[in-house]
Amino acid sequence: MKDINWGIIGCGNVTELKSGPAFNKVAHSKIHAVMRRNAEKAADYAKRHGVPVWYSDASQLIHDPIVNAVYIATPPDTHAAYAIEAMRAGKPVYVEKPMARTYKECKKMIRVSEETGMPLFVAYYRRTLPAFLKVKELLDQEIIGIPLTVNIRLHKAFGMKDQFPDQQTWHTNYKIAGAGYFYDLASHQLDYLDFLFEPINQAEGVAQNRAGFYSVEDTVSAAFIFDSGVTGTGSWSFVVPKGNEEDTIEISGTKGKIIFSCFQHRDVELITPQGTVSFSFQNPENISQYLIEQVVQELRGVGSCVSTMHSAARTNWAMKRILRKYYEE
């Protein structure tokens, strides 16, 4: 492809700042059309963002002859269906994370990509952000020696809407999200650790619903092992009180450790016997921009993207393993 003319399916909040504007900032890339089931909202988004065409039907967008690549930014339950339709129509796909509602759906998407020859990318943009690349650089340079273990702690306060069933978002609807907030947020962390330490090959977990606000899990603990030999543990809870929140990933090695945050914009801390060093970074205005640049470059045949359908599917597999006992029961 010489130029990428994007069609966006699902122009909700994630496309307002995190991703949408970046498609028009990357060289040889522009948004040609957007789709939302609510026609009024689709038209409003197109007007505000200067998009030439809008639709309220996804199939119409997919089969627009000018659209030659599709970005899917809907909730997870429609990722597979839209991606498969687009790939069968001869359009490469960039889909939001998690890749799909289930690992089974991920595998079907991969099969269709291989059958059609259409590339499929997933929006795990932390693989391209400066702070996260700095952590990888420190590990590659063996600054903390041999990596031994990684620990994730993500404890978030419950929101007011979580307490009222009629106000809860799709994030706590198993049929839409695949699980609870764990799938939405832990997926970023587990995907990034896959980037650092190779795939997770073993994972076990326990999950509970402790607060009773909704039917899916709200508290999770897990242990896992990477192909590299690094072991990991994680603790997630989405119902702690404000003031008790935590967002930390800690990597320990034979010569020191690295501490950083996944969702908060904090410094990366390197702690060794010589002392503590902090590294500060600036993210792009549209946080997905660097990954979108890689997607465009690969589609144009001048580069490659670090977030693939295979790496993203591995994250769905790991999350399935962690929660399997909770949902099997």
Q: Domain 4-126+287-306 has what CATH class?
A: alpha beta
Q: Which residues contact 10 (CB under 8 A, 6 or more apart)?
A: 35, 36, 72, 73, 74, 75, 78, 96
Place 160 in a pLDDT band, splitting at 50, 70 and 90.
Answer: confident
Q: What is the mean pLDDT of residues 58-80?
A: 98
Mean pLDDT of all residues belonging to the chain: 97
Residue range 270-325, pLDDT digits in tens = 999 999 999 999 999 999 999 999 999 999 999 999 999 999 999 999 999 999 98
Q: Is the pLDDT of residue 329 over 70?
A: no
Supply the DSSP string of 131-171, one letter for each residue.
HHHHHHHHHHTTTT-SEEEEEEEEEEEPPGGGG-GGG--GG
Q: What is the mean pLDDT of residues 138-165?
A: 96
Q: 3-state SS string over 216-239? A: CCCEEEEEEEECCCCEEEEEEEEE
- Residue 182 pLDDT: 98
- Residue 328 pLDDT: 67
Residue range 178-228, pLDDT digits in tens = 999 999 999 999 999 999 999 999 999 999 999 999 999 999 999 999 999
Identical topology for domains 4-126+287-306 and 130-282 = no
Helix crossing, 103-116 with 309-328: angle to 10°?
A: 150
Residue range 36-54, pLDDT digits in tens = 999 999 999 999 999 999 9
Domain boundaries, the chain: 4-126+287-306, 130-282
Place 77 in a pLDDT band, splitting at 50, 70 and 90.
Answer: very high
CATH number for the domain whose boundaries are 130-282: 3.30.360.10
